[in-house]
Amino acid sequence: MVSPAIALAFLPLLFTLIIRYRYYFVLFYRAVLVRVVQDFLTGLSREERAFQYVLTHATPGNPDSILDAFDHWCSKVEFISNIGPKKGLVLDRLLRENSPLNVLELGTHCGYSAIRIARSLTIGARLYSVEMDKSNALVAEKAIRLAGFDDDMVELIVSTSEEVIPKLKEEYGVERLDFVFMDHWKRCYLPDLQLLEGSGLLSEGTIILADNVIFPGAPNFLRYVKRSGLYKCHMHRASLEYIRGIKDGMAELIYLGAK
C-alpha cells in the first residue's frame, strides 16, 4: 500500500501533467467519453446526431448555413474532426485562386469538407469524394444533397482509397487531378500519394492539401515529400479544429512533375 507521504509527493507532478496536457484531456472527454455515452443513449452514431442537428438548424440549399450548423455542433456539442472554419479558410483560398476542374477528396466522413469544396468550385468542375465507411457515407450523402449539390458536381464513392485511385482513369474518366484534399486515415497518406503518382493522375502544378499532419500526424508522409524532390511543400500551422491548445497543421504540396 502506498503511504500518504509518497502519494503527497506525487501530487505536484500529477497537477503539472494535468495542466500541461489539459487540452488532450478535453479532447478525450469530448471525442471519446461523450461519444460512448451518447451512442448508448441515442442508438445513433455521432455522425447521425450531427446531421440531425444540421437538419433542424440549417437552411436547405444554403451551404454556408449547413457548414455553420456543423461548426456549432462540433464546437459546442460533440467533437468531429472536420477541417473546421479556421483551417477551412486555407482550403477556400487555394480553391478560389486555382479554380480546379477535377478535385479528389480522400475521406468524406460526414460531408463537411465536401460541401466546403463544392461551394468554391467553378461551373463545370467536379469533386470525387471517397469514403470507405458506409454509414458515414450515408450521412455525407444526405448532407451534400441538403446543401444543394447533385451528382454532376459531387460524386460520392463508397470504397477504400487504395481501390478507387487506380480506377479513376478507366472507370471515372479522370485524366488529370488539379486538386487533392487528404483527410482520411493518416497512415494512408503516403501510400495513397504514391498511388496517385503511379497512376499518372498528377501533373505539374497539381495541388495536394493534407490535413492533420502534425496531430494525429503523418511523419512518414512529410518525410517523403520533403526528400522526394517531387513537391514544393509549405506548412500551414494551426490548432486542431474545435479544440484550442493542440498544435496541428496542413501540408500544401505543389507537384513539380516526374523526374
pLDDT digits (tens, 9 = 90+) for 3-19: 666 555 555 655 565 66
Largest CA distance in the chain: 72
Q: Is residue 211 annotated as a catalytic residue, yes or no?
A: yes
Residue 183: active-site member:
yes
Residue found by looking up cell 512533375 in the block: 257
- The pLDDT of residue 133 is above 60: yes
d(CA 190, CA 162): 11
12-46: pLDDT as tens digits: 655 565 666 788 888 998 999 999 999 999 999 99
pLDDT tens sequence across 215-243: 999 999 999 999 999 999 999 999 999 98
pTM: 0.92
Q: 84-255, which class in CATH?
A: alpha beta
Q: In what order do the strands lie in the sheet with 126-131?
A: 154-158, 126-131, 102-106, 179-182, 207-210, 247-255, 231-239
- Spell out the residues 6+ positions from residue 176 whose beta carbon is closer than 8 angstroms to its own: 102, 201, 202, 203, 206
**What local confidence, expressed as pLDDT, does residue 160 receive?**
97
Active-site annotation holds for 97: no
CA distance 178 to 2: 62
Position 44: which residue type? Answer: L
What gap in Å lies between CA 252 and CA 235, rounded to an integer? Answer: 6
116-129 burial string, b = 16+ CB within 10 Å, else e?
A: bbbbbbeeebbbbb
Q: Point out the catalytic residue in the list 186, 192, 248, 252.
A: 186
Strand residues in 52-183 grouped as ranges (E): 102-106, 126-131, 154-158, 179-182
Given 48, 178, 241, 252, the catalytic residue: 241
71, 211, 248, 252: the catalytic one is 211
Q: Active-site residue 241, yes or no?
A: yes
68 is catalytic: no
Provide the pLDDT for residue 17.
57
